Structure 1
């Protein structure tokens, strides 16, 4: 055998050849995912897509055919990050559960709850966090039928009732919606005031500077108002 056949190529030693083979074998052993681009987070979708997903989920809930039953699925993965598709300002009423009403699982919704679902600075800050830092594309104000907080405010406005403790602060926040609804002389003042409160909350969030208003103007998010019917479980958009 000639020296040319037995000699390594110029610049390539036996040690270098061995090292290259080891590197190649190591690369082959890596999982395919290491070379794939990371999947986008689940909330990297449009506000309209999110709204469609929520309303379809509510239809399943109202029909008693929910798909979310295994709440342990994905628990370990959620421990490191969250990607909620919607931020919801909801009433604290124990009969209203946005995750169930929209048939969504843990980590899907960023929910702020307080009696009367009105917008105050604390709740606004939470919603700003969801939009600014969690990239949540949809914000919803979710009111419901038979709201006790608004009914109590009606009694204060119309009947001069007094409420104890910090409940007076709640009434102060809800009074403008009740007064506006009352001025329209509706047949059902409670229903009208509930709807007016939802619309007012929606408008305030749409114009809340500096964060939400900017995101709305750039069409990065959408703010919607919705009404949950306790008896049927159905949600309608206002």
Structure 2
């Protein structure tokens, strides 16, 4: 499998990008990793890059986007931060990926057993970690289905909060970035929340809770 060039990347829309990621995760969980010539990909991307998707994920050592989606050099942008939260720097990186380079899909990827989520559930306060916990706290309050043991020791509660936190990050991106909001409205970029299961390697996409629009004639003419 080769890295996309500029013209090939232009042929990929948000739906296709999502399917490429689905296919990659299928290969990953079935141990069917594509045999790539990574040095060839390095050479092909030495002057430019045309990633088809951008993944905002946690910094957890088990959730490397390139691995779990079985992608090669130059295929995706990977932005990582504890708890897959949104900040000024994250927004700037996402806007560069979509608005400048042309990545057509944003996936906000949370995961089960997330340490940052556990810490938020336990109201941890420690140095700069506290600012990350503050971003996750709304999800701990939004979760209302679990009544007992609402702590980081309850995997059911932790994973439910992680899912809500992913949705909150998607909403925040669209609320705070006029650039991405416009690209999504025009159908040029899609945005989807997803969860990675650290026990199985499987990624579940929640596209019904994201936005992938069809490109309209008006938006094509304006491009």
Q: Which stretches in structure 1 are left out of the alignment for 5+ residues?
A: 1-37, 157-161
Corresponding residue for residue 210 of structure 2: none
Which of 185, 191, 211 is residue 146 of structure 2 equivalent to? 185
For residues 43 and 74 of structure 1, what CA distance do their matches in structure 2 show? Answer: 19
Corresponding residue for residue 33 of structure 2: 66
Corresponding residue for residue 194 of structure 1: 162
**Residues 40 and 67 of structure 1: CA distance in aligned 2, closer, same or farther (over 3 Å):** same
**Residues 39 and 118 of structure 1: CA distance in aligned 2, closer, same or farther (over 3 Å):** closer
Using the TM superposition, give the Cα deviation of residue 186 of structure 1 relative to its aligned residue in structure 2, in angstroms. 5.7
1:227 and 2:188 are equivalent in the alignment: no
Which of 133, 139, 146 is residue 100 of structure 2 equivalent to? 133
Aligned partner of residue 165 in structure 1, secondary structure: coil
Runs of 4+ displaced beyond 6 Å? none
Which of 214, 217, 233 is residue 182 of structure 2 equivalent to? 214
For residues 110 and 39 of structure 1, what CA distance do their matches in structure 2 show? Answer: 15
Aligned partner of residue 139 in structure 2, secondary structure: helix
Corresponding residue for residue 173 of structure 1: 135
Corresponding residue for residue 54 of structure 2: 87
**Residues 179 and 43 of structure 1: CA distance in aligned 2, closer, same or farther (over 3 Å):** farther
Corresponding residue for residue 96 of structure 1: 63
Query: What aligned pairs does 1:151-170 form with structure 2 within 5 A after superposition?
Result: 151-156=118-123, 162-170=124-132
With normalisation by structure 1, the TM-score equals: 0.78
Report Cα offsets for 1:24-45 as digits up to 9, x if no partner.
xxxxxxxxxxxxxx97143541
Corresponding residue for residue 151 of structure 2: none
* Contact 1:43–1:83 under 8 Å retained in 2: no
* Contact 1:178–1:193 under 8 Å retained in 2: yes
For residues 35 and 98 of structure 2, what CA distance do their matches in structure 1 show? Answer: 25
Aligned partner of residue 207 in structure 1, secondary structure: helix
Aligned partner of residue 78 in structure 2, secondary structure: strand
* Contact 2:28–2:67 under 8 Å retained in 1: yes
- RMSD of aligned C-alpha atoms? 1.7
* Contact 2:53–2:103 under 8 Å retained in 1: yes
* Contact 1:205–1:223 under 8 Å retained in 2: no
Aligned partner of residue 71 in structure 2, secondary structure: coil
**Number of residues paired by the alignment?**
195
Corresponding residue for residue 209 of structure 2: none
* Contact 2:6–2:50 under 8 Å retained in 1: no
Report Cα offsets for 1:153-198 as digits up to 9, x if no partner.
1011xxxxx43211111111111111111x3336721111011001
Using the TM superposition, give the Cα deviation of residue 209 of structure 1 relative to its aligned residue in structure 2, in angstroms. 3.1
